[in-house]
Structure 1
Amino acid sequence: MNKFLKYALVGALAAFTLVAVGCGGGDKKADNKIDMNKPVIVGVNPGPHAIIMDNVKKIAEKKGLKIEVKEFSDFVTPNSALAAGEIWANSFQHEPFLKATMKKEPSFKLANAFSTALFPINIYSKKLKPGDKIPDGAKIAIPNDPTNGGRSILLLAANGLLKVKNPKDITTTVNDITENPHNFQIIELEAAAIPRSLDDVTCAAINTTYALNAGLNPATDPIVKETADSLYVNIVAVQEKDLNDPRLKIFKEAYQSKENGDFIKTKFPGSVYLGWKE
């Protein structure tokens, strides 16, 4: 091989290498770039969560963020879908529930991104009217998941209907009831099924989402109401790696905007409370 051909081949190989490296770097940079034209998927439960998120979607779009709302009918799948990367965020739970999920599923690397609203859990009845006393020996249905079950027990304790070890312990369970002077029968059921059990029990603790879906009015129908100072404010959850995603700032601004706050107060007066300071 003559010197000219040898040097020509070396030069061509060097040029090819530079082009390849340049393309590779460009692709890597492109991979890290956020496409604002691509919608982020946010998981919610049907009912008030979905209704509010549809409003947030409109506000966020004016700020340059597109949101696709995906509904889940249970309390388990939204976190599984988030952990698997099938959705970008979810909005259906309070932080105690998220922590309980993370304890049960340590592989889930999920985090609290920001507070949304308080969806109170109240006591409803078809046999009693607001103002009536719950009779001795009453059958009271509560959710069978650890956080909302404990939340229901703390609600009963806060109203002097029974006593627990620590009235502020969000890990409270039926085993932490220290005094049950009215001999209530506490029946643990799946949260979504509790509204259908109202014919079979004296009363029941029902999450706002399921109460509204069952045609109950959280503002007027409960015989015992959870107050706005509850520890169970709902949140938006994301994967830990997305906590610094710039889209999250836009999402938070849209959710906690005055426009959305006014919407919530008008759409759900006395039923849903804002979880942030205006």
Structure 2
Amino acid sequence: MKKLFAIFTIAILALTLAACGGAKDEATKKEGKGGNKTLVVGASAVPHAEVLEAAKPLLKEKGIDLKVQVFTDYILPNVALHDGEIDANYFQTPGYLELQMKENKDFDFVSVGEIHQEPIGVYSKKYKSLDDLPKGAKIIMSDSFSDHGRILPIFEKAGLIKLKEGVGANARVEDIVENPKNLDFSTLIEAKLLASSFENGEGDAVVINTNYVLEAGINAKEYQIAREGDDVVPANLVVVNSKDKDNEEINTLVEVLKSKEIQKFIEEKYKGAVLSVK
């Protein structure tokens, strides 16, 4: 009987220690080397992850070890943020954030800082300007509707189409009321595939997000035939779960990303293809 009691006591003690160990792991999982806090941020590879890498030494001086988790699409960074796998993400614009929250009612996100701008550009291997596009030209663009309100005004400003009055940033293809050249905007593909589509010579022009242009090494000076005006380009945001909007480490991250050191890095690294938000 005493032997059975001893075995039972040992088992209870083992379970208690395991539970304490689990609690300790949970409490310390955010601790980095030397007692620094660890911050995990999800980002697109270019330029977002590169900007975050440049910020690492500055954050380390402030007691934060930054871990960058790179994503290759626009869907998973928000899923990972919602699931608590990352502390913040840095890849999206206000329009995309708004659309994602409308489509996913359980997302409770908020922007905590505008960091940089990436003008969307129109690229072509066949033509040197939008005016050169022939009748019925095939325009390939992102299947993300939040981008359409940025893309279509480029063509409207060039006088190639006219949009329904008042649609603004919510413009869609069906809002085109005049299209004298009958340009074909029906080919929509995933944003990360646009650069490959361009390189494969598909369509007459391809509208590509700047991060994918940089990632693919496309020569913008040679192939870009139009782009958004700098005055209308939305900012790329640092986004967190609403409950973390006042988190000290998150606020420090934003402070560093908006610092003169990082602004200088963006200007020198991307030579105008990416614009820092002052």
TM-score of Structure 1 vs Structure 2, range by shorter chain: 0.7 to 0.9
Gaps spanning 5+ residues in structure 1: where? Answer: 1-26
Q: Answer yes or no: is 1:212 the counterpart of 2:214.
A: yes
Against the structure 1 CA distance between its residues 219 and 247, is the aligned structure 2 distance closer, same or farther, given a 3 Å change threshold?
farther
Q: Which residue is equivalent to 2:255?
A: 253
Aligned-residue offset at 1:56: 1.5
1:254 counterpart SS class: helix
Q: Is the 1:74–1:192 contact (alpha carbons within 8 Å) kept by the matching residues of 2?
A: yes
Higher helix proportion: 2
**Per-residue deviation, residues 207-263 of structure 1 (Å, max 9, x unmatched):** 011111222134553100222212421111000000010112211111000000000
Aligned-residue offset at 1:166: 3.9
- Identity rate, percent: 34
Aligned-residue offset at 1:159: 2.5
Paired with 2:91 and 2:44, the residues of 1 have a C-alpha distance of 6
Q: Which residue is equivalent to 1:191?
A: 191
Gaps spanning 5+ residues in structure 2: where? Answer: 1-22
Q: Is the 1:130–1:221 contact (alpha carbons within 8 Å) kept by the matching residues of 2?
A: no
Q: Answer yes or no: is 1:67 the counterpart of 2:66.
A: yes
Mean Cα deviation higher: 252-261 or 165-174: 165-174
**Per-residue deviation, residues 80-134 of structure 1 (Å, max 9, x unmatched):** 1001110000001101100000000010011111001001110001112358622
Paired with 2:166 and 2:203, the residues of 1 have a C-alpha distance of 25
2:60 counterpart SS class: helix
2:57 counterpart SS class: helix
Q: Which residue is equivalent to 1:238?
A: 240
List 4+ stretches of structure 1 deviating above 3 A.
217-221
2:135 counterpart SS class: coil
Question: Aligned Cα RMSD in Å?
Answer: 2.4
1:39 counterpart SS class: strand
Paired with 2:74 and 2:172, the residues of 1 have a C-alpha distance of 19
Against the structure 1 CA distance between its residues 102 and 203, is the aligned structure 2 distance closer, same or farther, given a 3 Å change threshold?
same
Q: 1:15-30 alignment to 2 at 5 Å?
A: none
Aligned-residue offset at 1:79: 0.5
Q: Which residue is equivalent to 1:12?
A: none
Structure with larger Rg: 1
User: With structure 2 as the length reference, what TM-score do the two structures score?
Assistant: 0.83
User: With structure 1 as the length reference, what TM-score do the two structures score?
Assistant: 0.83
Q: Is the 1:45–1:73 contact (alpha carbons within 8 Å) kept by the matching residues of 2?
A: yes
Q: Which residue is equivalent to 2:203?
A: 201
**Alignment coverage as a number of residue pairs:** 250
Q: Answer yes or no: is 1:95 the counterpart of 2:97.
A: no
Paired with 1:116 and 1:154, the residues of 2 have a C-alpha distance of 23
Q: Which residue is equivalent to 2:8?
A: none
Paired with 2:222 and 2:205, the residues of 1 have a C-alpha distance of 15
Aligned-residue offset at 1:148: 1.2
